[in-house]
Amino acid sequence: MTPTQIDAARSALAMVLPLRHPADAALSRFFRDHPKLGARDRTFVAEAVYGVLRHLRSLEALCGGRNGRQLLLAWLARHGGHNLREFEPLVREGEFKWLKEVKAAKLDDQPVAVQLDLPDWLHERLQATYGARLPELLGALNRPAPLDLRVNPLNTDRAAVLAQLQDEGLTAEATPWSPLGIRLKDKPALQKHPLFLSGQIEVQDEGSQLLGLLLAPKRGEMVCDFCAGAGGKTMLLGALMRSTGRLYAFDVSEKRLNNLKPRLKRSGLSNVQPQLIASERDSKVKRLAGKFDRVLVDAPCSGTGTLRRNPDLKWRQTEAGLAELNAKQASILAAAATLLKPGGRLVYATCSLLREENEAIVEAFLAAHPEFKLVPAGAVLTAQQIPLAMADYLQLDPAAHGTDAFFAAVLERTA
Ligand SMILES: C[S@@+](CC[C@H](N)C(=O)[O-])C[C@H]1O[C@@H](n2cnc3c(N)ncnc32)[C@H](O)[C@@H]1O
């Protein structure tokens, strides 16, 4: 810890803490504006900013408000693994006395939502769903995620990539469930790595990989990735189809679809058709009704399952925002379902922990669409030889599975 690092982290927090923009975007801007910061200083700043965001509510309770320097010092002392003595040369005398009290303070008298670092509305909902498991789940969501890779089965296999990474001195192991996944212990920058540039690997959480494997598209099929974004799952689906058949990648965001194009080029896929749509009711969607074997709906959601990577989401989401998302999710699911042929399969997925975005959307859809039935996710995983015990839905979380939290339901059109 140096005075420069503390100063830089305080300035970065001042940019991030208004929480008007996603924290990763605000932090990237801070780093662009401060090109002279070295690699170690950047790591310190990023860890401190994300650490404060993870524990913002309890830190505010301890500091009596949102003073950036105080929040930072409190996080460093309580969660940053620093001994109090290390602060002595870095802070003023009065500050040191205050920090000593903050480090020793107990949170027992605070409301549970403060102790668990959640806004009240989110705590109420998660408590109702997860009950006694909630502290363990939040503990896992408050730890940084590992770096997962997915190998591209079109041009390599997992054993070859694992061997190469291990030869380079990286601690890499096969992920437990996805047959295409590799988990790295550290977080090397891979954008310039030959394996990445030649399309042999992509960065993708194991949970995300499992969603593609649940859809299980086959060679020659007509498949649609309805909310394709920058195509993380599109590329997996295309590879599972061995680059045959046709894979439509829809999204309402031109920027995200544009980011898909260079990734497609690297991956060697030639069966993907990116398609910008104005909304789920776009005439392009209507023209393709009844033509698809498989549809993935990776719905826009609160992202609460990704708090390991985006801890700011818990402070930036609101109840009103959740209600808007729920209406959008129901509408997208209904529109995407019209694409399926009889016998076709749809996977509805989110990276949300909230019942309202998950089971409730699927249950309401099934009640209104008797021509669809739920296929137990556990049975689909078994058929795919993925040894992951699940019942009706796929429900992953970092405490139980080491992945981001994902929800998925498999629906089949019966008529
Ligand atoms: C969870 S993200 C998708 C992530 C992507 N599937 C991946 O694996 O990288 C949800 C996406 O839904 C898109 N979206 C929002 N509203 C939509 C709509 N009405 N129709 C289609 N896509 C929509 C967003 O632009 C966003 O890219």
206-257: pLDDT as tens digits: 999 999 999 999 999 999 999 999 999 999 999 999 999 999 999 999 999 9
pLDDT at 415 (0 to 100): 86
Q: ipTM of this complex > 0.90?
A: yes
Query: Do the first three CATH levels of 147-203 and 206-413 match, i.e. the same topology?
Result: no
CATH number, domain 206-413: 3.40.50.150
pLDDT digits (tens, 9 = 90+) for 168-182: 999 999 999 999 999
Q: Are 41 and 6 in contact (CB under 8 A)?
A: no
The answer to whether residues 233 and 223 touch, using CB atoms and an 8 Å cutoff, is no
Backbone angles phi, psi at 383, to 5 degrees: -60, -30
Ligand 1 atom nearest residue 351's Cα: 1
Look-up of token digits 């200083």? 41
224 noted as active-site residue: no
Q: What are the residue boundaries of the structural domains of the chain, listed by start?
A: 3-110, 147-203, 206-413
Q: Cα(50) to centroid of ligand 1, in Å?
A: 25
Out of 148, 252, 285, 325, give the residue to mutate to test ligand 1, the one with the largest number of ligand atoms within 8 Å of its CB.
252
**Atom 17 of ligand 1: nearest residue by CA position:** 252
Q: Which residue has the tokens 């998660």?
A: 126
- Catalytic hit among 63, 224, 301, 351: 351
CA pair distance 17, 73, nearest whole angstrom:
15
- Residue 298 assigned ligand-binding role: yes
pTM comes to 0.95
**Domain 147-203: homologous superfamily in CATH:** Sun protein; domain 3 (3.30.70.1170)
Ligand 1 binding site (Cβ under 6 Å of any ligand atom): 226-230, 232-233, 250-253, 256, 277, 279-280, 298, 300, 332
112 Cα: distance to centroid of ligand 1 (angstroms): 34
In this structure, which residue's CA is closest to atom 27 in ligand 1?
229
Question: pLDDT tens digits, residue range 356-401?
Answer: 999 999 999 999 999 999 999 999 999 999 999 999 999 999 999 9
Instruction: Write the DSSP symbol of residue 289.
Output: T
